[in-house]
A and B are shown apart, each in its own frame.
Chain A
Amino acid sequence: DTAVSQTPKYLVTQMGNDKSIKCEQNLGHDTMYWYKQDSKKFLKIMFSYNNKELIINETVPNRFSPKSPDKAHLNLHINSLELGDSAVYFCASSPRGMYNEQFFGPGTRLTVL
């Protein structure tokens, strides 16, 4: 009964490639997020969607493009991968609002060689 799932769990790729990470939640939440956790362990919001509408778009390179086909799915596509993109990417979901617990997926560990 996985609440928030991500695929793949590990992704190793060469610089310059394009890759996608998929996220699905079965909690019935309206809001989904993408976070990046770098090597220093800082967890930073990248994007958030509410009912397929983009509501948070932090300062990230436009090589990163989120897509939400429906409110249970939020995918992340990354073009022209760079060494600095190596990190753990977490998807999360919550009911809308700042007081609500966010539920995180298991993370996708991306390594760019």
Chain B
Amino acid sequence: RKEVEQDPGPFNVPEGATVAFNCTYSNSASQSFFWYRQDCRKEPKLLMSVYSSGNEDGRFTAQLNRASQYISLLIRDSKLSDSATYLCVVSRSGNTGKLIFGQGTTLQVKP
């Protein structure tokens, strides 16, 4: 079993739709959580960190449920430019900065 699991998709949605991605992690020692975005044939880039209280950045909302070891990302009012792969990422305790990546969920927003 992978330490971070995501539904690879693809999710095909029309512009303006709301779409939600889920992710589960297996290691309860995980301490910090992120969503990264990776465009086709490009490098990953941080989309947002995920905090226990939940956090929002414009059209993007991230939630963390430590009890269920579950992370979510909600995108409202999808734009064509949101088409990408969204990577769920966790980091364990300790100071090494080691990130564990999920396989990613592919989103395709269509006109």
Give A contacts to B, CB under 8 Å: 31, 33, 40-45, 48, 50, 55-56, 90, 94, 96-102, 104-107
Contact = CB atoms under 8 A, between A and B. Distances in A.
Contacts of A44: 101
B-side binding surface: helix, strand, loop or mixed? strand
B42 A41 contact: no
Interface residues of B, number: 24
B69 interface: no
Given A41-B85, A45-B100, A98-B31, 8 more contacts: A41-B104, A42-B101, A56-B96, A90-B43, A96-B97, A98-B93, A98-B98, A107-B43
A99 B93 CA distance: 10
A108 B74 CA distance: 31
Contacts of A33: 97
B98 A56 contact: yes
A48 B97 contact: yes
A6 B19 CA distance: 34
